[in-house]
Amino acid sequence: MNRQALVRIFLDEGRRYLESARLTLENHRMDGEALQSLEHDLHALKGMTQCLDEKEITDLVYRAEELVRECAAAHDENPLGTIPKAGLRQAVAEIEKSVADFEKRCTRHPSSGVEDGEVMPRHVDLPQITADAEQIDGLFESANRLRVAFQRLEHRLGTPRSPEELDLRRTLTESLRSLDREIRGIRLMPVRSLIPILESALRRWSDQKEVQVSFEVRGDQIEADRGILVRMIEPLTQLLRNAVAHGIETPEIRRSSGKPPRGRILLTTYRDPERIVFEIVDDGRGVDPRRVARRAAGLGIISYDTVPLVEMHQALALLSEERFSTRSSDDELAGRGVGLPSVREQVERLGGTLNLESSPGRGFVARLGVPTRITMLDLLQFEVARQVYALPMRGIERIRAIDGAPNAASQAKDAIRFSLRTLLSDPIVGQDDDPNAAHAQEKEGIVLRLGGQELCLLVDRVLTRSELIVRPIGQPLESSGPWSGAALLPAGGMALVIDPARLLRTAPAYAR
């Protein structure tokens, strides 16, 4: 990562830490907790200034840290005494002024950071060093192993026994985070790197179907982690295949419908705070809800009596059913009977979502949103039958005490309740509890919201929340349950991570 990138990170993150420190001084009564928060902000800021080799700012932050430590020592000796804020405010103000001066220098000389009067720049642009994908992936894996090793070491050591040990742990934590950011920066690739693959496949499919298609791309300058883009190739090609096989009409049919003879497929990529979104829109025939319903009835997914009642949103949900295919032939363009269910499964394995929209005769929209980070997840760990499992924090609303399984309904009346002990009795997972005795052990319910539905997962005991590395698990576990991966635990071992969407979709028999 070059100096300009580091400066951008420092200015963005540095302002946040300084703002937090200033708010602590303005809005909080100065006690031990406030001093600890202030020290954390200053320590994080110091680590970033050291990466930039900005000695003036580093020295100011170091002096402010020393002042906070002196105040903390005085507070420990006399908890009822008053901690003077004036000196702390002045120290933070001096840091803010120094950071503002640094930003002005960078604005004048954005490429090299050269100050007025300097003869030579402190950093000279050298020829770029190239590395192949395997080397970068290897570096990424090494950093992940280092993070796991540090988590296990922290777990083994327990609570810090001295200020020096606490300071060392914080320095290591910030260094690991900095290393993680830099490696992720190396792994970034623009979406445009996928476009030749998609264009080539689309040309071949349109020729095979004898349809005319123009392929437009927007947002291809957006960058994402290489691991995400590689895993998005198959879902995106499947959606393009569906657009040609089921959507874009022949030139003759399009003319008779008042459309231009050449169909249009638009791929748009954009980011929101937590996701990268891929949106594929075609102007083809769209989805016919009645046709979808008749096909679903023929496959036994719904009854023939409900066919006239199926609306568009229900038809789109049916298209994602694992048993569904609108084509009876098994040609390449039909997606060999997998289609949208395959797309949904692959996206959900990344912790993402698939949303579908359609207007009959006017077109189809598929919107895939996947996390920008796929290796570290904020997880809630819990215990079932003495085994540790995990659940993504996103969507969790609360944790409820369950006074025995018979009273679970009164604790979460409107939620679909899943007994994880029943689910985990699957022989692949290796649990074999007596179901009558097992439910009495379910003491807590994790309540989460998925779409418009509330779920309550009954567990024995909620343990802790932490950010953990998650890895793919492969077969046969990947297809045998609602698993999205396995988290590496600080104490050693692994915890299977539950995907709530797959649980709701594939395990209705476990609901109570």
Q: How do residues 323-371 score in pLDDT, each as one tens digit?
A: 775 555 444 444 333 478 878 877 877 778 899 999 998 999 999 998 7
Does domain 190-371 fall under CATH 1.10.3720.10? My reply is: no
Does domain 376-510 fall under CATH 2.60.120.280? My reply is: no
State the Cα–Cα distance between residues 421 and 204, nearest whole angstrom: 49
**How does residue 268 score in pLDDT terms, banded at 50, 70 and 90?**
very high
Highest mean pLDDT among 135-149, 153-167, 220-234, 379-393: 379-393
Which residue, among 237, 232, 231, has the nearest Cα to 215 in the 3D structure?
237
Where are the CATH 1.20.120.160 domain residues in the chain? Answer: 1-119
Helix (H/G/I), strand (E/B), else coil: 347: helix
State the Cα–Cα distance between residues 445 and 400, nearest whole angstrom: 5
State the Cα–Cα distance between residues 491 and 464, nearest whole angstrom: 13
Peptide bond into 476 cis (omega under 30): yes
- Which segments of 320-434 does DSSP mark as H helices, in order? 339-349, 408-411, 420-423
Where are the CATH 3.30.565.10 domain residues in the chain? Answer: 190-371
Which residue, among 477, 402, 405, 486, has the nearest Cα to 438 in the 3D structure?
405
Rounded to 5 degrees, what are φ and ψ at 34?
-65, -40
pLDDT at 52: 65
The crossing angle, in degrees rounded to 10, of helices 55-77 and 32-52 is 160
Distance of CA 333 to the CA centre of its chain: 31
- Which segments of 78-162 does DSSP mark as H helices, in order? 86-108, 133-157
Where are the CATH 2.30.30.40 domain residues in the chain? Answer: 376-510
pLDDT higher at 475 or 139: 139
Contact 290, 298 (CB under 8 A): no
Instruction: Count CB-CB contacts under 10 A for residue 469.
Output: 19
Of 102-106, 146-150, 194-198, 506-510, least confident by mean pLDDT is 506-510
Please state which CATH number belongs to domain 1-119.
Answer: 1.20.120.160
pLDDT at 334: 42
Contact 446, 382 (CB under 8 A): yes
**How does residue 177 score in pLDDT terms, banded at 50, 70 and 90?**
confident
